[in-house]
Amino acid sequence: MSGVYDSALMRRTKIIATLGPATDRPEILRGVLENGADALRLNFSHGDWDVRYRRIAEARAAAAELGRCVALLGDLQGPKIRIARFADGPVRLEDGAEFFFDPELDPDAGDVHGVGLNFTTLSDDVAPGDTLLMDDGNVELKVQQTRGSRVHCGVVHGGVVSDHKGVNKRGGGLLAVPALTEEDRRDLKLAAEAELDWIAVSFVRDRADIETARRLIREAGGTAHIVAKIERSEALDNLDEILDTADAVMVARGDLGIETGYEGLIGQQKLIIRRARHRHRVVITATQMMESMIDRPMPTRAEVSDVSNAVMDGTDAVMLSAESAVGEYAAEAVSAMASICRGAEAWMPARMETSPVTEGAFERVDEGIAKAAMYAANHMDVRAIAALTESGATALWMSRIRSDIPIFALTRHAGTQRRVTLYRGVVPVGFDVTETRSDKLLRAIFERLRVEGGLVAGDLVIITKGAITGVSGHTDSMTVLPIED
């Protein structure tokens, strides 16, 4: 199985699409994949494992049928504060009305006056004058007073509220609890057993949350890489240690924007992307990127600008949530996002002369080889780079340096092929790297590059590999040569 590469329509930025009721229809799931989704996300905030197992099986079957290499990402719910349920369905809160939160209220007894809550210490963590936001900030309330477990508020900006909507405090500081709930721990184990490729940890605070998640995954026999979701103000304070511990980060702009304020959100996004790339970590930009396409066939100009901005900043991937999970135009949203990515990339400098990721001493030989290969490629008429890899590390380092040259990650491991689908500019290729005879190995590489990249005789390529093939972390050589007949 291999990646899909078209030299005329190369898109370096990757797309993650969320599975949901919309993609349960086989023709929609197929359209999402055909239109360019590189990874599929399962949101563990919704559904149960019977539904998730079915969607995993359907996604893998559809990808195999299309000959696509597609990663699966499980997104843990985390300790999000959520309201309980309303007795008679959604309620409309009017500006100026009074409303309360009370964790001791019957969870099914909510009404226009107040609602239950899954967070027992809210009254201890807020004070009069604090701002609480519901439903991703669509409803704003001001705390007036607390009485026992009950928090009384005034509605500043009202709206319709339905069951289980999230609650945030502007400025953060509510969730002084570990990122992994008991339910998350169960989900981690099942996700590892289901052999998901990436697992996203919600509401990360520091490196300890990542280390705990990784230990649980490994104890369950999983090999998934970890995405740290940056959505707490505490995570921004500890960003460097999180980047040093996680394999990737997600700019989760919904809760992050609510906690820290929207006025600084794009600056924070740019900071996270820049620091993630400098630390050789994958970075995903998410939340409401194409929100209008839930019920419209075309994106707004603001959404086009939003996606383009993230692409030009160097994000590895952009993500669709409700747009593909429940939207009426799921496949069209993927197609539109792919077009926007290509359009934005066309305006970027194709090759960067210098890069912060090439400064300073290299810690490993394979890192030095990867970056030397990119420097050479950016100063020669090279058509492609072939990185023979076991773990995908060489391809990751290469992808940190801006270039318009496709990086083909040639690996025999299906798990590595799927994981590198999220690396910017990297195309996964199934390939047995254990051939020891140099002439046979080169002929096999040339043939795969002809098939996967449309290369022809005379095209100049760079090949990186180890003297001992089939061993992780031993890339120690770079060869520059033309494709031969």
Q: Please count the CA atoms within 13 angstroms of the CA of 248 that sit on its side-chain side.
A: 30
What does the angle CA 428 – CA 387 – CA 360 come to, to the nearest 5 degrees?
A: 120
What are the respective helix, strand and coil percentages of the chain, to the nearest 5?
40, 25, 40
Active site residue 229: yes
CA angle 431, 280, 76 (to 5 degrees): 85
Q: Among 287, 315, 394, 416, which one carries the catalytic annotation?
A: 287
For residue 387, give the H/E element and its range.
strand 382-388
Residue with tokens 């033309």: 482
Where does residue 339 rank: exposed (0-12), middle (13-18), buried (19+ CB within 10 A)?
middle
> Active site residue: 169, 229, 402, 418, which one?
229
Per annotation, catalytic residue among 12, 41, 277, 383: 41
Catalytic residue, chosen from 82, 170, 207, 270, is 82
Residue 474 near residue 366, CB atoms below 8 Å: yes
* Inter-residue contact 133 to 167 (CB < 8 Å): yes
Burial class (CB in 10 A: 0-12, 13-18, 19+), 385: buried
| Helix (H) / strand (E) containing 144 | strand 139-147
Contact criterion met (CB below 8 Å) for 231 and 255: yes
Annotated catalytic residue 434: no
Told to judge if 315 belongs to the known catalytic residues of this protein, a careful annotator would answer no
CB of 160 closer than 8 Å to CB of 94: no
364 is catalytic: no
User: What whole-number distance in Å separates Cα of residue 224 and Cα of residue 353?
Assistant: 34
Residues catalogued as catalytic? 41, 82, 229, 287
